[in-house]
Amino acid sequence: MTKATVPVSATAMRAACSQCNLHELCLPVGMNAAEIDRLDHLVGARRKVRKGQHLYRSGDPFEAIYAIRIGWFKTDVLLEDGREQVTGFQMTGEMLGLDGISTEAHSCNAVALEDSEVCVIPYGQLEELSREVQGLQHQFHKVMSREIVRDHGVMMLLGSMRAEERLAAFLLNLSQRFNARGFSPAEFHLRMTRDEIGSYLGLKLETVSRAFSRFQDEGLISVQQKHIQIIDLAGLRQLIQSPGR
Amino acid sequence: MTKATVPVSATAMRAACSQCNLHELCLPVGMNAAEIDRLDHLVGARRKVRKGQHLYRSGDPFEAIYAIRIGWFKTDVLLEDGREQVTGFQMTGEMLGLDGISTEAHSCNAVALEDSEVCVIPYGQLEELSREVQGLQHQFHKVMSREIVRDHGVMMLLGSMRAEERLAAFLLNLSQRFNARGFSPAEFHLRMTRDEIGSYLGLKLETVSRAFSRFQDEGLISVQQKHIQIIDLAGLRQLIQSPGR
DNA sequence: AGGCCGCTTTGACGTGTATCAAACGCAGGC
DNA sequence: GCCTGCGTTTGATACACGTCAAAGCGGCCT
């Protein structure tokens, strides 16, 4: 007989950082075995989120941060008039929910782009433990700081780059993140639509589509719907470094 | 006889959070007197930075974060080809340097927009003390999280708004920050040039200038060089909420 | 007090991206 | 297997903002 009170979306199975192959990317970075062991007790249940479902919504009370075990998410903010700005795409080993600390409520939406699973890290307990475990404290600060640095990079994209430069930078960023997780840096599937890419990059979907086509015509990449193959990595890099004109 | 070894840019005078009128904005928020007292011992010297000088540069080793006591700064990131993206304008009571935690080196430049003064908060000691003082730990996390939320707002600006909406949002943001510090929310001096505003908003200086002129023609604000007076606050707010078309 | 230089304003024109529109193709359901 | 619908591609056209240029203004240094 299983526990009837467990919500459908959460498994009773506890997460175990010490067993998780995301060690090298996630919170445990830089921690020793004993410290990770303490982290194991902190990380609560895992939670499955189906494609299209929200992990949290803007305005939800902030209680935990989340580490992605499996899958992909997007975060976005909405304007009153319905305009959407995608603020990021998060993959395996990345953290979600840091925006909530500041006001104790989430300030953006987090939506699964495919069936996904996250580790739930109750925030109060994280603060408590990171007062005792220096390695955890430091890594957590690094994660937050990294998010700030990443955001500055996005500002650079949005504020100073032209459409093709933005898309090239986006592809290179994905490539590098896949690579860091042991996947091919040259061939991958996009989990997001052209519209979502466009929102992230401050472009319309048609512009994104045209840029993809142009890259393909120029032999930089091969595109088949969501399947991307990077053919000329150096060429993409060069695109970013030379101003549009 | 004064200490000859004190660098010109740093005063021997220690900062004293407990004496500082920025209590309500800065790190001490939410801390009790005893806790602030401990913070006093942590905060090192103050450092003066003259207009145009760098507080730190991209690549500098990360050692401390900074709280602005007096003055204004901008932070920016540079592309190889010389393009600049201003990532933020920081004023009294705001924190600088959080970007450095992630890689132990700063990833942007911080430049004083006018003669300024900051409190130097050695980072190692901050982590140490925040392991002991829960209020400090929590407030520090909030400051970092707030920065992330702010950055998302800038992405919204850059990715989804039109020129006049961006400038209106910028002015409203300044207005609110002046107000929070006890200054007039309706009348203030800009510390940055049109070019810097443009870089921040992803626009050219001419576009910024034209938008200012248009706002003035429409009776929303009065502009005389860097002196701004907001005449129709509601009108500015409305501008943001109705899509450009 | 005068002169220089950097910042700003304004105008005319160019262009990158948005908009509108239509056709296509792949995936999922019956 | 065929139909249906959403996401994508591609084309024609529009427009917001960038670019180039010149004049104006103000602050600062001597």
DSSP codes of every residue in A55-85? EE-TTPBP-EEEEEEESEEEEEEE-TTS-EE
Place A243 in a pLDDT band, splitting at 50, 70 and 90. Answer: low
Query: What is the pLDDT, as a whole number, of residue A3?
Result: 40
Which of A67-76, A226-235, B38-47 bottoms out in mean pLDDT, i.e. has the lowest? B38-47
Residue B97 DSSP symbol: -
Q: Which residue has the tokens 């309500």?
A: B24
At residue B10, the pLDDT reads 45
pLDDT score, position A230: 97
Question: Residue A17 and residue A156: Cα distance in Å, rounded?
Answer: 34
CA distances from A135 to A27, A39, A138, B128 (A): 9, 11, 5, 12
Q: How far is the CA of A162 from the C1' of C15 (A)?
A: 12
Cα distances from B108 to residues A29, B34, B59, B75, in angstroms, run 24, 35, 8, 6
Condensed to tens digits (0 to 9), the pLDDT of residues B13-33 reads 566 788 888 877 889 998 888
Q: How far apart are CA A197 and CA A159, in angstroms?
A: 16
Cβ atoms < 10 Å from Cβ of A13: 9
Nucleotide nearest to A204 (CA to C1'): C18
Q: Are B138 and A127 contacting, i.e. CB atoms less than 8 angstroms apart? A: yes
Q: What is the pTM of this model?
A: 0.93
Q: DSSP class of residue B22?
A: T
Cα distances (angstroms) measured from residue B67 to each of A91, A144, B43, B100, B178: 34, 18, 10, 14, 17
d(CA A201, CA B159): 7
pLDDT in tens, A170-180: 999 999 999 99
Rounded Cα–Cα distance for residues B46 and B121 (Å): 9
Chain A residues with CB-CB distance to B101 below 8 A: 141-142, 144-145
Give the distance, in angstroms, between residue B17 CA and nucleotide C13 C1': 56
Please tell me if residue A245 touches chain B, with a CB cutoff of 8 Å: no
Who has greater pLDDT, A37 or B23? Answer: A37
Q: What DSSP string describes B147-211?
A: HHHHHHHHHHHHHH--HHHHHHHHHHHHHHHHHHTTS-SSEEE--S-HHHHHHHHT--HHHHHHH
State how far the Cα of A67 lies from the Cα of A22, in Å rounded to an integer. 10
Nucleotides of C under 7 A from a protein CB: 7-12, 16-21, 26-27
Chain centroid to Cα B171, Å, comes to 14
Q: Of the candidates B164, B153, B158, B188, which has an alpha carbon nearest to the alpha carbon of residue B237?
A: B164
pLDDT tens digits along B162-221? 999 999 999 999 999 999 999 999 999 999 999 999 999 999 999 999 999 999 999 999
Confidence of residue A213 (pLDDT cuts 50, 70, 90): very high
> B81–A241: do the CB atoms touch at under 8 Å?
yes
Spatial separation of the C-alpha atoms in residues B229 and B224, rounded to whole Å: 9
Asked if strand C contacts B195 at the CB level, meaning under 7 A, the answer is yes
Tens-digit pLDDT profile for residues B143-166: 999 999 999 999 999 999 999 999
Q: How is residue A117 annotated by DSSP?
A: E
User: What integer pLDDT is reported at residue B109 of this predicted model?
Assistant: 97
Mean pLDDT across B127-144: 95
Average pLDDT, chain B: 91
Contact A152 B79 (CB under 8 A): no
| Chain A residues closer than 8 Å to B147 by CB | 148
| Nearest nucleotide, CA B202 to C1' | D17
Interface test with A, best of B65, B83, B87 (most A CBs within 10 A): B87
Measured in angstroms, what separates residue A245's CA from nucleotide C14's C1'? 14
Task: Give percent of chain A above pLDDT 90.
Answer: 78
Judged by CB atoms within 8 Å, which residues 145-184 of A form the interface with B? Answer: 145-149, 151-156, 158-160
Predicted local confidence at residue B13, as pLDDT: 57
Beta bridge partners of B74: B89, B111
* Neighboring chain B residues of A155 at a CB cutoff of 8 Å: 77, 85, 87, 151, 154-155, 158
* pLDDT for the residue A43: 82
Q: Is the CB of A199 under 7 A from strand C?
A: no
Q: Which tens digits make up the pLDDT trace of A132-163?
A: 999 999 999 999 999 999 999 999 999 999 99
- Averaged pLDDT score across all residues of chain A: 91
Q: How many CB atoms lie within 10 A of CB A37?
A: 13
* pLDDT, tens only, A46-85: 999 999 999 999 999 999 999 999 999 999 999 988 899 9
Q: Which nucleotides of D are covered by protein (CB under 7 A)?
A: 7-12, 16-21, 26-27
The residue whose two tokens read 């998060």 is A90
Task: Give the residue-averaged pLDDT of B114-118.
Answer: 94
Interface mutation vs chain B, best among A141, A197, A239, most B CBs within 10 Å:
A141
Q: What's the pLDDT at A111? A: 97
Say if the Cβ atoms of A201 and B138 lie within 8 Å. Answer: no
Q: Do B107 and A202 touch (CB under 8 A)?
A: no
Residue A89 contacts B, CB cutoff 8 Å: no
Alpha helix stretches (DSSP H) within A92-232: 123-132, 134-160, 163-180, 194-201, 205-217
What pLDDT sits at residue B43?
Answer: 83
| pLDDT tens-digit series, residues B46-87 | 999 999 999 999 999 999 999 999 999 999 999 988 899 999
Asked if pLDDT for residue A165 goes beyond 70, the answer is: yes
Is B10:B45 a contact under the CB 8 Å cutoff? Answer: yes
Question: Of A97-106, A194-203, B38-47, B146-155, which gets the smallest average pLDDT?
Answer: B38-47
User: Shortest CA distance to B72 belongs to which of B23, B116, B128?
Assistant: B116
Q: Which of B151, B195, B205 to mutate to test the interface with A (most CBs of A within 10 A)?
A: B151
State the Cα angle at B130 between B128 and B133, rounded to 5°. Answer: 120
Determine the distance between B233 (CA) and D29 (C1') in angstroms.
Answer: 39
